[in-house]
A and B are shown apart, each in its own frame.
Chain A
Amino acid sequence: DTGVSQNPRHKITKRGQNVTFRCDPISEHNRLYWYRQTLGQGPEFLTYFQNEAQLEKSRLLSDRFSAERPKGSFSTLEIQRTEQGDSAMYLCASSQGSNYGYTFGSGTRLTVV
Chain B
Amino acid sequence: AQSVTQPDIHITVSEGASLELRCNYSYGATPYLFWYVQSPGQGLQLLLKYFSGDTLVQGIKGFEAEFKRSQSSFNLRKPSVHWSDAAEYFCAVGAPGNQFYFGTGTSLTVIP
Tally inter-chain residue pairs, CB-CB below 8 A. 60
User: Complex formed: what's the CA distance from A57 to B17 in Å?
Assistant: 43
Number of chain A residues close to chain B: CB under 8 A: 29
CB-based contact B99/A45 at 8 Å: yes
Contact of A104 among B41, B45, B49, B101 (CB under 8 A): B45
Contact flag A44-B46 (CB < 8 Å), given A98-B97, A109-B41: no
Known: A42-B102, A44-B102, A101-B34. A31 touches B97 (CB 8 A): yes
Say whether B51 contacts A42, CB under 8 Å: no
Q: Which residue of A lies closest to B90 (CB)?
A: A42
- Number of B positions contacting A (CB below 8 A): 24
- Residues in chain A within 8 A of chain B (CB atoms): 4, 6, 31, 33, 40-45, 48, 50, 56, 58, 91, 93, 95, 97-107, 109
